[in-house]
Amino acid sequence: MLCVERRSRTACSCWTSTDTRSMLPPLTLPPVSLGPAGTVAPLGFGTWAWGNKLLWGYDTSEDAALRAGFDRAMQPDGARASGVFWDTGDSYGTGTLEGRAESLLGEFRAASATPERAVVGTKLAIYPTRLTGAQFEEACRSSLRRMGREQVELVQAHWSAKRFQPWQEPAVWDGLARCHESGLARAVGTSNYGPEQLRRVNRFWRERGVPHVSNQAQFSLLSTLPLESGLFEACAEMGVVPIGYSPLALGLLSDKYGEGTLPPGPRGLLFKEILPGLRPLLGTLREAASARGKTVGQVALNWAMSRGALVIVGVRTAAQAEENLGALGWRLSGAEMDELERAAAKVPRKATQNIFNTE
């Protein structure tokens, strides 16, 4: 049985004396500082699906629903007195729709009643044709034109070039530094960098006086590599905020799918392989959700935030934004998190890791 209150160890048999997380405040998750980029709630929103026909089946007819989802996510409430982090990228949008996510985000922000609450982090794709720092700087300028802005809060490398084109990595680092130095971005960040490469780029930017404030990593109960590799420890050491993407494992941890209700396309093929071994973990998530009066997805999101990540979750409708916002304003106990992690460790097939992830 899961404990949802912080009781003494004699009153709660699932608590252990070695659980240092018992000292954490029980009912809140603090805001997250991204340095000069701003301070945000620990739950942010991603725009990967905006413009993506291949994986998410996007159609321009859903733009009104996307706008409604944006507006709901931007509404202030007691759990989100700070800013709202929005994650996007210049490669988001398939084919001729490439860049669509940035364009829509810029349009929605400009029409918002509280545009100042949005803290935007865009990512520049490490395309093989981008070989110089100047080309990455120009890519940032193109992103800003799509978003209708002169400066973005955060510009990030979408991935490291180390694994496939290591000679390109100096241009990536120089290019993002130039984005900050030319006033195009308040701060810079990385994505899919492991602890070793993260230390290298952090040293480069620190010596150049460029604020390196974040590093994105795939992170969920089905993707715990950032905990096992020492990435979170490296982030803490350097003052870099870990941003966890795919916290619901493409929807696997939302409990909305079963073997008879698979999503179409590539996601459905992946789900078909993973779902049979996922039943015990989903059962534990349901137990925690029932005890908390929450949904399975909200528990999965709260776990990732309670582990120290700024979490980004996709949003396509107002209802979806409302559902995800229910992950804020409370915090799992250490005992609940341990129970979930024990169940997750037994899942035979985990989420596929990003091929660009480095050591």
Instruction: Identify the active-site residue in 92, 193, 245, 257.
Output: 92
Q: Which residues have CB under 8 Å from 319's CB, separation 6+? A: none
How many other CB atoms sit within 10 Å of the CB of residue 301? 28
Give dist(CA 153, CA 196) in Å, integer.
26
Task: List alpha helices for 113-253, DSSP H.
Answer: 133-147, 169-181, 195-208, 225-228, 231-238
**In terms of Cα–Cα distance, which of 130, 122, 141 is closest to 184?**
141
Burial of 58 (0-12, 13-18, 19+ CB in 10 A): buried
Question: Quick one: angle between helices 231-238 and 195-208, nearest 10?
Answer: 10
**Could you tell me which of 187, 91, 214, 211 has the C-alpha nearest to residue 142?**
91
194-232 as b/e, with b when 16 or more CB fall inside 10 Å?
A: bbebbebbbebbeeeebbbbbbbbbbbbbbbbbbebebb
Q: Is there a contact between 30 and 316 (Cβ–Cβ < 8 Å)? A: no
Task: Assess whether 92 carries a catalytic annotation.
Answer: yes
Kindly list the catalytic residues.
92
